[in-house]
Amino acid sequence: MEQTTSNISKFSTIVFTGAESTGKSTLCKGIAAQLKLDRLDEQARKYLESLKRKYTYNDVLEIAKIQHQAQTEFLEIPHQYNLLDTDLLTIKIWLDDKFEKQHSWIEEEIIKSADKTLYVLCLPDFAWHCDKLREDENRRDEITQLYRDAFTKYKLDYINVNGSVKNRESQVLNHIKVF
């Protein structure tokens, strides 16, 4: 459920998510730098860059396991806030969208962390930057709706951010009211 104001103390984790090329990594890095916080980077890119073929359903499941393991280890270290450049929700949407199938443990993990996670949905008004791993330039609005549907289905708290990097950073900082 989208919120207009948040009690940030409710949330220990902030996840930057959305369709491809919407500024998630840039925004996560920027917020982490401004607040002097650690962040966990997306794990999929390293895995996909090492493949010499098109990814498969099993590859995406392996990415989910890698992401989950990295996230579990990151969350075990005490942080003021946990900043994540993606999480299992992104992988769930990826599996649903590309393969129309899922593994139940992914959904269970999303539900487990729902009450302490704030999602920052990066809207697709951000300039598209092509790279060899991106494949959905013309589907960003459709994929953004998949995220909104998932937020509703799992009753996840989220905010939308749009505009320039500076505007997005301001929107996040104003929303969480850290200081």
Tens of pLDDT, residues 32-66 = 999 999 999 999 989 999 998 999 999 999 999 99
Domain-embedded: residue 129:
yes
* Residue 60 CB contacts under 8 Å (≥ 6 apart), including other chains: 91, 94, 95, 98, 99
pLDDT at 6: 43
Domain residues for the domain of 77 are 8-176
Domain-embedded: residue 43:
yes
Domain count, the chain: 1
pLDDT at 3: 44
| More confident: 4 or 158 | 158
Domain-embedded: residue 125:
yes
Please report, for the domain that includes residue 142, its CATH number: 3.40.50.300
pLDDT at 7: 46
Domain-embedded: residue 1:
no
Confidence of residue 1 (pLDDT cuts 50, 70, 90): very low
User: How does DSSP assign 118-170, residue by residue?
Assistant: EEEEE-TTSPP---TT---GGGHHHHHHHHHHHHHHHT-EEEEE-SSHHHHHH
Tokens of 178: 């850290």
Q: Tens digit of pLDDT for each residue in 101-153? A: 988 999 999 999 888 899 999 999 987 777 777 888 789 999 999 999 999 99
pTM: 0.90
| More confident: 178 or 25 | 25
Domain-embedded: residue 3:
no
Domain-embedded: residue 141:
yes
Domain-embedded: residue 114:
yes
Domain-embedded: residue 65:
yes
